[in-house]
Structure 1
Amino acid sequence: MTPIQERSLTSPVSELSGHGLRLLPWDADAPADVEAWLRGLTDPEFRRWNTPLRPVEDLADARDSLRSKAERSADGTDVTFKVVDAASGTTLGQIGVNLIDHVMRSARVGYWVLPEARGHGVAARALRLAAHWALTDLGLHRLELGHATGHDVSCRIAERCGFPYEGTLRGAMWKDDGRNSFRDVHLHARLATDPETTP
């Protein structure tokens, strides 16, 4: 086991704070967390651009999905945060550092924001906070961000947060909330050696 693995497994992250946000672990036993997770993954705008790897259609699915996320967090392969307003404690969305490769020191980042929280820079602020943690405390070198081509909002967020566009991955994600057709993905990435961006 590498030093990075030891740090990530024996020192689980309980909270990150900054930019008016708190990033906290989700709780599969908390009804409010399960309901927010379900709303996020069944939101029509989310489904327009994303197809969850595991179908999430009801509260039972949402609870199972959160438990699965907790298991992957425990084994050091994913870390999924609930994005919360620092002042009110209101849940705003989620951000995850996923597919963590401790050998290559790389990972993928993904996020969504609940409908009522959109338009307030939540995704960009959460991305800056999670990326800083992943590229410093977690010791990663490269953090990738992929989004469906045509999702201009995600493209702008990535660029503003220091994730330049690197290319197009052909047929790299499911299309139209299904598993029978595919669409292209814009790949953005940030390195630990890249300069920090300002909000």
Structure 2
Amino acid sequence: MPYLNCAVLTVGTLAQRHQPTIPTPDGLLLRPWRAEDVPAVYEAFQDPVMHQWHIRAADSEDEVRGWIDEWRQEWEKEDKAQWAVVDADSDQLLGRVALRSILLDEGTAEVAYWTVAAARGQGVAARATTALSRWALEEIGFHRLELMHAVRNVASCRVAAKAGFALEGTKRSALLHQDGWHDMHMHARVQGD
């Protein structure tokens, strides 16, 4: 049975090109992950704030090495795409930004991010999310990007708003964290926003 609509993006849209490095106009660089990032990622995941809002923990640098190998391979699979967010001058790791749940045929993906403790409060997550969103919507041709965060994570709500993601509603009891089920705010940005 034929589909009535054409795919928004075709298979190979991402995999047939190298994962890009995306600069921001204000000193950040979104770049593919490297093996050298292992110690900084491990350190970031020792932060209690990461444990509060994320569902993963890092028990060892070997475990993180496996994550980075996985993150680097995800580009080829086109279901996720992950970047290290670094200072453009020093290459110091400041965080991560990603497209998850990529559906090429529908032209949709979910944006996710985190920052290291020392980078919080400096607009790193909002600046990186804005740069990634522009690239995904304007250069690649995604139609819709979604961003979800726990309702109680007020800082993430500010990031979403600063990055141009409109609040669309609340998904009740949508994600299980260590402390129980969390209601999640759903934000989105579409082409033309």
Q: Same fold (TM over 0.5)?
A: yes
Which residue in the other structure is 2:42 paired with? 38
Equivalent-residue separation in structure 1 for 2:108 and 2:46 (angstroms): 29
Which residue in the other structure is 1:166 paired with? 168
Which residue in the other structure is 2:125 paired with? 123
SS of the residue corresponding to residue 63 of structure 1 reads: helix
Over the aligned positions, Cα root-mean-square deviation in angstroms equals 1.7
Residues 40, 112 of structure 1: 8 Å contact kept: no
Which residue in the other structure is 1:189 paired with? 188
Report how far residue 71 of structure 1 moved.
Answer: 2.0
Equivalent-residue separation in structure 2 for 1:114 and 1:158 (angstroms): 18
- Post-superposition Cα deviations, 1:85-143, rounded to whole Å, max 9, x if no partner, equal 11222111110111110011000111111111112111111011001011122211010
Equivalent-residue separation in structure 1 for 2:191 and 2:184 (angstroms): 23
Equivalent-residue separation in structure 1 for 2:72 and 2:91 (angstroms): 21
**Runs of 5+ unmatched residues, structure 1:** 195-199
Report how far residue 39 of structure 1 moved.
Answer: 2.1
Residues 49, 176 of structure 1: 8 Å contact kept: no
Which residue in the other structure is 1:47 paired with? 51
User: Which amino acid in 2 is paired with 1:20?
Assistant: G
User: Which amino acid in 1 is paired with 2:191?
Assistant: A
User: Which amino acid in 2 is paired with 1:42?
Assistant: Q
Residues 87, 93 of structure 2: 8 Å contact kept: yes
User: Which amino acid in 1 is paired with 2:27?
Assistant: G
Residues 19, 75 of structure 2: 8 Å contact kept: no
Match of 2:31 among 11, 21, 24: 24
Query: How many pairs does the alignment contain?
Result: 186
Report how far residue 5 of structure 1 moved.
Answer: 2.6
Task: Give the TM-score taking structure 2 as reference length.
Answer: 0.90
Equivalent-residue separation in structure 2 for 1:174 and 1:160 (angstroms): 26
CA distance change for structure 1 residues 115 and 165 in 2, over 3 Å: closer, same or farther?
Answer: same
Equivalent-residue separation in structure 2 for 1:87 and 1:34 (angstroms): 19
Moved over 4 A (4+): none
Report how far residue 35 of structure 1 moved.
Answer: 1.2
Task: Give the TM-score taking structure 1 as reference length.
Answer: 0.87
**Runs of 5+ unmatched residues, structure 2:** 1-6
